[in-house]
Amino acid sequence: MQRNASGGDMRADHVSIELPLTSAPGSATATRMSPTISAGAGSLVKQRSFVLFLLSRSLSRFSSQIAGVAIGWQIYDLTGSAFDLGMVGLVQFLPTALLVFVAGSAADRYARKRVVQLCQLAEALTALFLVWGAFAGALTEVEIFVATFVLGIAGAFESPATAALLPLIAPGGTLQRATAISRGAAQVAPITGPALGGLAYAVAPGLPYGIMVVF
């Protein structure tokens, strides 16, 4: 408060000070962590549900890679046609392209675990048919293409349902790490599956399908 030179009234000068809103070191705000911070891989592999999910997804992709190689070789052995060999890939991919929206809706609408189980059951039954036909020498080109189409349909429904299961299985705060581990494990199948499928087919045409049934 100051008095002016003429002896007038006193006047108060108000000064406003703005302080930045910061959290003190060690405060609850500063130390708060996001619940999505990944936990260690060691804690995940101790979760039985996650390990079973990882094995199921990895082996399913592994068997599909084996099937792709074995079916391609068998079609080429039966027909000797490069065009028919190329059609194998188209028949495998076509259900995924046609059913992309239907399969995603089914994964949201129905029990995802049940969808995956039904898809894997269909794949196992198809593989059994191919095993029997390969060892009996009774498989025709049309039958192999039909079996390939069935496997493609099963894969089209299985893939989104399996992906949607992971957030329900991963423990709280481990989703990022669980996703990374799942994707890493899935990358092993395209590397090892075709090699094993080719070796198995060289031993016996029905052996790759037998491996599919086991996996």
For 77, 81, 89, 150, 188, the CA distances from 86, given in Å and listed in that order, are 13, 9, 6, 17, 24
Confidence of residue 197 (pLDDT cuts 50, 70, 90): confident
Distance CA 156, CA 150 (A): 10
pLDDT digits (tens, 9 = 90+) for 35-60: 444 445 566 767 778 888 888 888 88
Distance CA 153, CA 122 (A): 9
- β-partners of residue 11 are 2
For 66, 127, 180, 211, the CA distances from 174, given in Å and listed in that order, are 31, 35, 10, 33
Instruction: End-to-end CA distance of the chain: give it in Å, rounded.
Output: 88
Distance CA 13, CA 2 (A): 8
What confidence score (pLDDT) does residue 40 get?
A: 55
Distance CA 215, CA 203 (A): 18
Distance CA 51, CA 33 (A): 26
Domains of the chain (ranges; CATH) run 47-214 (1.20.1250.20)
Q: Tell if the pTM clears 0.75, that is, is over it.
A: no
Nearest to 116 by CA among 44, 63, 185, 53: 53
